[in-house]
């Protein structure tokens, strides 16, 4: 992998991690366009650079991580995801990560689901956001959101989309579930990245560490802008546009990779 490729992948990770469009899918597709084989080293790189995006959330929301009530809700949501991710780790790394067919199908079907879900949500009264909504979220709802988040072990599903859909279905306001999704990403992604690096440490060279640093920094910088954009966007728009985008990019890449 070149320095430019590491920079591009890092920027893509930061821009897509918190949007409901699947950062994993975009990294996989970008790697294909850059001519990078889905080796264990590349898969590990794509997972590890998520730490940069997560650090962006910590920088923006550090006060939330000092609130014990918020931390307890985040912990309750993290546990189901952690258990499922740990149990299925070898299957995910060996058969799902880097699988183009699975990624494209999940990307396209997930987009269609977002559009249908938004149509359904229009028939329900919109919950009113309150400043303490995340702090007072029930542990049951927190755990259910974490359980839904676990669907994102399938490349292309999108961790952000899964948590947002789960939260909206449970009656949370858009502002609250998006914020909760940001916070929940911190332990989820750091645990996944840390565990994967621990398992793959033997195959990482000093040159790889330099590329990881470049990708992580690029991810951190672009994630700052992505988070601020997303928070501004949801105040006036639904998630349907993201659904359309997912379908479009799935079709385009399917044509490029499997037809042309």
Can you read off the two tokens belonging to residue 151?
Answer: 């669907």
Cα four-point dihedral sign 215, 221, 224, 225: negative
Can you read off the two tokens belonging to residue 108?
Answer: 């396209």
Can you read off the two tokens belonging to residue 155?
Answer: 């490349």
pLDDT of residue 214: 93
pLDDT of residue 5: 93
Can you read off the two tokens belonging to residue 80?
Answer: 């189901």
Helix, strand, or coil here: 165?
A: helix
- One pLDDT digit (tens) per residue for the chain, 260 residues: 889 999 999 999 999 999 999 888 898 889 888 888 777 778 778 878 888 999 999 999 999 999 999 999 999 999 999 999 888 877 877 777 767 888 899 999 999 999 999 999 888 887 877 888 999 999 999 999 999 999 988 888 999 999 999 999 999 999 999 999 999 999 998 887 777 777 765 556 666 778 889 999 999 999 999 999 999 998 888 899 999 999 999 998 888 877 65
- Domain encompassing residue 101: 3-259
CA distance linking residue 44 with residue 188, whole number of Å: 16
pLDDT of residue 48: 81
Question: Among the residues of the chain, which ranges form H helices?
Answer: 3-16, 23-33, 40-48, 50-61, 68-87, 89-91, 100-121, 139-149, 159-169, 174-200, 206-234, 240-254
- Cα angle for residues 108, 111, 113 (degrees, 5° grid): 110
pLDDT of residue 143: 96
Domain count, the chain: 1
pLDDT of residue 203: 55
Q: Do 7 and 214 meet the contact criterion of CB atoms below 8 Å apart? A: yes
Cβ neighbour number for residue 58 with a 10 Å cutoff: 15
* Longest alpha-carbon distance in the chain: 55
Sorted by sequence, the CB contacts under 8 Å of residue 29 that are 6+ apart come out as: 100, 103, 249, 253
Alpha-carbon distance values, 207 to 3, 56, 179, 196, 249 (Å)? 10, 25, 36, 18, 32
């Amino acid at each position: 992998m070149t320095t430019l490729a590491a920079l591009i992948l890092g920027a893509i990770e930061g821009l897509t991690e918190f949007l409901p469009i699947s950062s994993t899918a975009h990294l996989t597709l970008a790697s294909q366009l850059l001519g990078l084989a889905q080796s264990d080293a590349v898969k590990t790189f794509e997972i590890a650079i998520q730490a940069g995006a997560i650090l962006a959330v910590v920088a923006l929301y550090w006060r939330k991580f000092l609130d014990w009530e918020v931390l307890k809700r985040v912990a309750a949501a993290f546990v189901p995801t952690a258990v499922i991710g740990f149990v299925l780790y070898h299957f995910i790394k060996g058969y799902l990560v880097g699988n183009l067919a699975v990624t494209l199908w999940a990307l396209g079907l997930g987009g269609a689901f977002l559009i249908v879900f938004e149509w359904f949500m229009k028939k329900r009264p919109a919950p009113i956001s309150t400043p303490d909504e995340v702090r007072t979220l029930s542990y049951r709802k927190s755990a259910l959101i974490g359980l839904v988040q676990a669907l994102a072990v399938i490349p292309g599903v999108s961790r952000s989309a899964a948590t947002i859909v789960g939260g909206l279905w449970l009656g949370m306001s858009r502002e609250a579930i998006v914020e909760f999704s940001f916070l929940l990403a911190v332990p989820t992604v750091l645990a996944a990245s840390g565990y994967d690096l621990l398992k793959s440490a033997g195959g990482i060279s000093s040159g790889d560490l330099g590329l990881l640093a470049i990708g992580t920094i690029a991810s951190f910088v672009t994630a700052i802008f992505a988070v601020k954009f997303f928070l501004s966007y949801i105040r006036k728009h639904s998630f349907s546009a993201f659904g359309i985008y997912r379908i479009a990019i799935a079709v385009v890449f399917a044509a490029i990779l499997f037809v042309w």
